[in-house]
Amino acid sequence: MESEYRPCVLAVVTNKDGLVLVGERAEPPGSWQFPQGGIDTGESPETAVRREVQEEIGVAEFIVLGRSVAPIRYDFPPDIAGPLTKKFKGQDQIWFHVRLPAGHEPSLERATDKEFRSLAWVTVAEALRRVVPFKQQAYRQGLSALGLLIT
């Protein structure tokens, strides 16, 4: 039986200044999130996060600094309709803390899936302010699990 929750990965990309990378989704404008995406059949979470980071921010190399032990779950709100909401109740995300090596910068020009319209390096607090309300609690949990949010 297929899960009610889509298995996913999420990457919190940090830089040497302690800022995190967020992307503004192409649709709807004003919706910000960390790079994320589904785990394909037969794919490990580690392979999925590498693929998603390359597809969404155009970076093939990065260092994994940590990951959540358990998935972070959130539900889709009832007023959001789309292919995923028809198939799943929400998402179970394995969170990864990653750092780009020197000389490797995110680039929407190199991104292949064009999910984001813009990228920004922001503080953790600013990332939490920008994320859509239905993901707020999951983001707090995920950032806490990675040791990036001290409450």
Exposed e or buried b per residue across 98-117, where buried means at least 16 C-beta atoms within 10 angstroms of its C-beta: bebeeeeebebeebeeebbe
pLDDT bin (cut points 50, 70, 90) of residue 118 is very high
- Asked whether residue 14 carries a pLDDT value surpassing 70, the answer given is yes
Mapped onto helix, strand or coil, the DSSP state of residue 27 is: coil
- Asked whether residue 150 carries a pLDDT value surpassing 90, the answer given is no
Map out the domains of the chain with their CATH numbers.
5-145 (3.90.79.10)
What does the mean pLDDT of the chain come to?
Answer: 94
- Asked whether residue 151 carries a pLDDT value surpassing 60, the answer given is yes
Three-state SS annotation for 124-141: HHHHHHHECHHHHHHHHH
Q: How far apart are the first and last CA of the chain?
A: 38
| pLDDT tens per residue, range 48-89 | 999 999 999 999 999 999 999 999 999 999 988 888 889 999
CA-to-CA distance for 68 and 10, rounded, in angstroms? 10
Quick one: tokens of 27?
Answer: 């649709």
Determine if the pTM surpasses 0.85.
yes
High-pLDDT (> 90) share of the chain, %: 85
151 or 138: which leads in pLDDT: 138
| pLDDT tens per residue, range 107-116 | 999 999 999 9
In this prediction, residue 147 carries a pLDDT of 96
In this prediction, residue 22 carries a pLDDT of 98
In this prediction, residue 15 carries a pLDDT of 94
- Asked whether residue 135 carries a pLDDT value surpassing 60, the answer given is yes
- Asked whether residue 2 carries a pLDDT value surpassing 70, the answer given is no
In this prediction, residue 45 carries a pLDDT of 98
Residue 91's beta-bridge partner residues? 6, 74
